Chain A
């Protein structure tokens, strides 16, 4: 970097800004976030306060965890569309078993479908080379089918969201969302994994050039299997937070958040073609999408128009972002 600067001692302001952006892709995202908040404040003066921020963070956290699944899989050129089903399954099992089985047992039981689907995805993608889009869509549909049957069998027992999950999902302690207790370690783990661990390096390597990774001794299926299991576990965590936040487990608890999670990762600068990206950008992306949702609600538009505007903004932001952070 320093050498490049030396070669061109007086670059224009535009180029210098570009360079900063391409070195630190999170900066333009933070600027965008600030702009959105300013717009919101102008439209509805006084809305941006402590309570609003806490509320936004509460909703952004499970989305950011779902987006973590997309980030790590996208780094290898994959995607995980089964996260919605996995999260819903986890939420559903924990709120139906929580009453008679005890919380610990219920948590463990709710982890099982997450692991199963993760393993199935990993085997399908890693060993049988099914395209991740198809594989995870398939396991997702199977999971949904299972969920419908399961729902019918437990319809008599009813559901109850465990208190601990409600506390984590909705509670505030001194104005700070409790879900940060879960999120901070999860985010730290993912950031460390991608930046400083051998496994993280392999995710980038496999996504950048699978053949090169193989020739360096990487065994592809092992990486992919571990990856999709990890994605399943992360989705499970997101499901537990969602059920604590929404407090009403339903079949469509998490499903509508899957594509926004993909969008968060993309806005955050992770390439769907693999090899490029990171989790910091994804977190900011998840916050941006959450703020955007509030903004559109504030505009009091009909639901259809809101959705259309949401889609357009996601496209525009992604296109602009890629341009801004591209190499000069």
Chain B
């Protein structure tokens, strides 16, 4: 059995200072196998990929390719060792023509053209500048270029994410043939259906460790989800039981209504209502269109389709100022995007007060200080280092961004992953605050990458997958397994039913 292992990584560890990205990751890929690498956000998937491809160096562990140990110091070395990767973004140099791009990586033209034709592009002109080709073709070229050098191991990282369905199918067929021809493929994807259709086995990472290898077959999707979540589920369940249950949502009117909202290529046909007094969760894997959704709602980005209504009145936002005028404020995921790092806590909180032309004159300091001080007290911002916000801790910085909109009395708050990288106590203070705001009639849209937050803070959650809303789940049943399944585009389990075959209902 050992002889047919083509790539074997064992005991891979990587830490950045005190932060451990990988503890003990292992991956073993057989010859001729399509092998999925799975893991929730922050499990260490991308770190492992970077180590395999030589982009970063591990602190420990061994990588064997075909039985020989390799120290991979750069992507070029990984290539020589027989491992070639294709990423989500096009890799051809846009200002060179295709022929030059091929010469750059010493790719033989004949096999390249053969694979390009194979994937349904019959008449490619090698003199064409890469920039002039459509994105979908570029993806085909990336894959063809990788396969043409005849790699031992092909690593595909979210390669199908940006592809239209018909092309994805062709690409997957080619990938499957690689396996059949005795080469190995490491396949990373958020799409569970692709994985069940394509892969032979899956390695699951959790908290920087390999927690299991699953043979793909009936029921394997559930097994993978289970492994990805691990013991976490029980702990969270306890926390949720301890959290004060919110009163049942009174029937209210919609505050914000979206109808068929789309952003070219990223978001399509999104319709939902955000009610008065509701905290609505948004759950999605990375890059499923949630950034665009929040951009549209906050006025930073214009939708290419659909309509948006506030309290039943249709609106169009050209700038964030327009959204703010309607009482809609964004708390962005990156705190550095929201804060004036060199200015004081008070000035940061008071910023929206001076924004409009009418308030460019003298500042009514006494009145403003009262309002700002009240918001700072309510959020219990630690004001010891208040002269410059950059000296505050991450949690306190986040509180400042929230205090800003409490002082400004925004009635609709769009929170994009507000608790990322924040200590647990502050997290709970923020959940509590969001609930309190909702209790006072405000509406909150909360995108979160930490799924337990849905039950800790939300009334309902919408799930976005591939730019579409695929499910709306009441908080009562939105436990992590349910949300993960939905986020991976899998159908919801009927209560008590046996796990259906993945793909059976598609």
Contact = CB atoms under 8 A, between A and B. Distances in A.
A218 B355 contact: yes
Contacts of B321: 214, 217-219
B363 interface: yes
Given A201-B351, A215-B300, A226-B360, 13 more contacts: A4-B384, A202-B360, A205-B343, A205-B347, A208-B341, A208-B343, A209-B341, A214-B319, A216-B352, A216-B404, A217-B352, A217-B355, A219-B321
B325 interface: yes
A201 B352 contact: no
Interface in A267-325: 275-276
A3 interface: yes
Interface in A204-228: 204-205, 208-209, 211-219, 222, 226
A212 B339 CA distance: 6
A189 B266 CA distance: 49
Contacts of A213: 340, 351, 355
21 contacts: A4-B385, A197-B361, A198-B362, A198-B363, A199-B354, A199-B360, A201-B347, A204-B343, A205-B347, A205-B354, A209-B336, A209-B339, A212-B338, A213-B340, A215-B330, A215-B337, A216-B352, A217-B320, A217-B321, A218-B354, A275-B342
Determine chain A's interface SS by DSSP, over half rule. helix
B324 interface: yes
Interface string B367-384: 000000000000000001
B396 to A, nearest CB: 14
A216 B357 contact: no
B43 interface: no
Contacts of B272: none
A212 B351 contact: yes
Nearest to A218: B355
A202 B355 CA distance: 7
Nearest to B359: A198
B324 A198 contact: no
Contacts of A211: 337
A149 interface: no
B31 to A, nearest CB: 50
B356 interface: yes
Given A4-B384, A199-B354, A217-B325, A209 B340 contact: yes
A3 B321 CA distance: 37
Contacts of B341: 208-209
Contacts of B343: 204-205, 208, 275
Interface in A170-222: 192, 196-199, 201-202, 204-205, 208-209, 211-219, 222
A1 interface: yes
Nearest to B388: A327
Contacts of B354: 198-199, 201-202, 205, 218
A275 B389 CA distance: 13
A213 to B, nearest CB: 7
A199 B385 CA distance: 25
Contacts of A212: 337-340, 351
B332 interface: yes
Contact of B363 (A197, A209, A215, A275): A197
Interface in B266-316: 298, 300
A195 B115 CA distance: 66
A275 B363 CA distance: 19
Contact of A216 (B300, B342, B351): B351
Contacts of B347: 201, 204-205
- The bracket for how many chain A residues form the interface is 20 to 34
Interface string A151-162: 000000000000
A214 B320 contact: yes
Contacts of A204: 340, 343, 347
B351 A196 contact: no
A216 B360 contact: no
B27 interface: no
A85 to B, nearest CB: 27
Interface of B: 298, 300, 319-321, 324-325, 329-330, 332, 336-343, 347, 350-357, 359-363, 365, 384-385, 387, 404
Choose among A199, A226, A275 the residue with the greatest number of B CB atoms under 10 Å from its CB. A199
A3 B343 CA distance: 18
Contact of A3 (B357, B362, B363, B384): B384
A217 B324 contact: yes
B332 A215 contact: yes
A4 B298 CA distance: 38
A8 to B, nearest CB: 13
A216 B324 contact: yes
Nearest to B353: A198
Contacts of B363: 196-198, 201
Interface string A101-144: 00000000000000000000000000000000000000000000
B338 A215 contact: yes
Nearest to A271: B342
Contacts of B332: 215
A210 B336 CA distance: 11
Contacts of A214: 300, 319-321
A325 to B, nearest CB: 13
Contacts of B300: 214-215
Contacts of B362: 192, 196-198
B506 to A, nearest CB: 40
A192 B362 CA distance: 8
Nearest to B324: A217
Contacts of B337: 209, 211-212, 215
Nearest to A192: B362
Given A198-B361, A214-B319, A219-B321, A208 B351 contact: no
Contacts of B355: 202, 213, 216-219
Contacts of B359: 198
Interface string A1-27: 101100000000000000000000000
